[in-house]
């Protein structure tokens, strides 16, 4: 088997990827993105804490969802604070938490957009109002998907329990709902990332070029969830001993890695589209020259 074409394509891909990676300044922009994500966490907890009594959702159910979504190390150190924030929610904080969450999350979305635009080489600064509106819409979209996942984990089995005798559903469906948390989580993450990579750039993107980056980022986030505990154990052990302060530092580490993976997926998409666009243009030029 001749490996030269594969090696040549890999070399070209890495050259373009390094160029796009340098242009996007992921190392610096991931810090900005993680900062705004950290700012949005606590108002989000205030919002959901105020919403739980209205929807009659138990705090333990939400904690079970959070435990599925984040690394075990983060959950172990942050669970007491999360439980405390969720338990303090009240109706008066509902609107305040919603506004603060939308503001902080939309700022994070703008930082994400700017980095992805740099990866695609978009130098023209978009209209600020349009950019803010798009960031706001994307934020609402992501929140809606997350809310749907929370609703599924909270009420999925209950809904199936009541619908089983009415529609004569299979008896194993109730247990199946409780066993597919990870697949649903992965699918939800993949959908969120694909929509972000497709809608965030201020440039027309073909949908099929968003799939490679979304797939790599989804796998990367899964690995981060599994391997972050090892990172804390061997490289940030002393930090975790500072209790509350150590918790914030560890969460910030995790958000920074998460941001880098998400932005890296955008760079992969930009590289993928760049290579395929050039290939299509070369094919079109060759066909025109032959005719």
Q: What is the DSSP letter of 208?
A: G
Residue 287 lies in a domain: no
pLDDT tens-digit series, residues 24-78: 999 899 999 998 888 888 777 777 766 766 666 677 767 776 777 677 777 777 7
Residue 88 lies in a domain: yes
* Mean pLDDT of all residues belonging to the chain: 77
pLDDT tens-digit series, residues 142-175: 777 776 766 666 666 566 666 667 666 676 766 6
pLDDT tens-digit series, residues 96-112: 767 777 888 888 888 89
> What's the pLDDT at 160?
64
In Å, the largest CA–CA distance within the chain is 73
Residue 11 lies in a domain: no
Nearest Cα neighbor of 192 from 241, 126, 125, 140 is: 140
pLDDT tens-digit series, residues 65-98: 677 767 777 777 777 777 776 666 555 566 676 7
Using an 8 Å Cβ cutoff, are 38 and 127 in contact? no
Q: How confident is the model at residue 178 (pLDDT cuts 50, 70, 90)?
A: low
Tokens of 263: 């932005």
* DSSP-derived secondary structure for 238-261: HHHTTHHHHHHHHHHHHHHHHHHH
Q: How far apart are CA 101 and CA 139, in angstroms?
A: 10
Residue 256 lies in a domain: yes
Residue 4 lies in a domain: no
Calculate the alpha carbon distances from 123 to 14, 29, 111, 117, 118 in Å.
22, 16, 15, 8, 7
pTM (2 decimals)?
Answer: 0.80
> What's the pLDDT at 46?
72
Q: How far apart are CA 94 and CA 264, in angstroms?
A: 35
Residue 3 lies in a domain: no
Domain count, the chain: 1
- Owning domain of residue 244: 16-282
Residue 7 lies in a domain: no
> What's the pLDDT at 256?
92
Using an 8 Å Cβ cutoff, are 267 and 119 in contact? yes
- Element of type H or E holding 141: helix 128-167
Residue 99 lies in a domain: yes
């Amino acid at each position: 088997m001749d490996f030269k074409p594969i090696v040549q394509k890999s070399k070209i891909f890495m050259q373009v990827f390094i160029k796009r990676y340098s242009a996007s300044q992921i190392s610096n922009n991931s810090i900005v993105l993680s900062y705004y994500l950290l700012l949005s966490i606590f108002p989000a907890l205030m919002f959901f804490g105020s919403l739980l009594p209205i929807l009659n959702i138990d705090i333990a159910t939400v904690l079970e969802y959070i435990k599925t979504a984040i690394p075990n190390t983060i959950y172990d150190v942050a669970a007491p604070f999360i439980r405390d924030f969720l338990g303090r929610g009240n109706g008066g904080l509902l609107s305040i938490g919603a506004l603060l969450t939308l503001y902080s999350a939309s700022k994070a979305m703008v930082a994400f957009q700017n980095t992805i635009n740099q990866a695609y080489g978009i130098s023209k600064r978009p209209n600020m109002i349009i950019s803010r509106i798009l960031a706001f819409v994307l934020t609402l979209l992501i929140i809606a998907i997350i809310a749907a996942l929370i609703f599924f984990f909270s009420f999925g089995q209950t809904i199936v329990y009541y619908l089983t005798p009415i529609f004569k559903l299979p008896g194993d469906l109730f247990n199946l709902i409780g066993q597919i948390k990870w697949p649903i989580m992965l699918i939800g993450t993949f959908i969120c990332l694909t929509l972000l990579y497709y809608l965030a750039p201020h440039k027309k993107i073909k949908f099929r070029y968003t799939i490679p980056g979304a797939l790599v980022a989804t796998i990367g986030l899964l690995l981060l969830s599994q391997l972050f505990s090892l990172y804390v154990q061997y490289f940030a052990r002393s930090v975790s001993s500072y209790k509350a302060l150590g918790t914030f530092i560890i969460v910030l580490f995790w958000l920074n890695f998460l941001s880098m993976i998400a932005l890296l997926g955008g760079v992969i998409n930009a590289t993928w589209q760049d290579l395929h666009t050039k290939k299509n243009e070369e094919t079109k030029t060759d066909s025109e020259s032959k005719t």
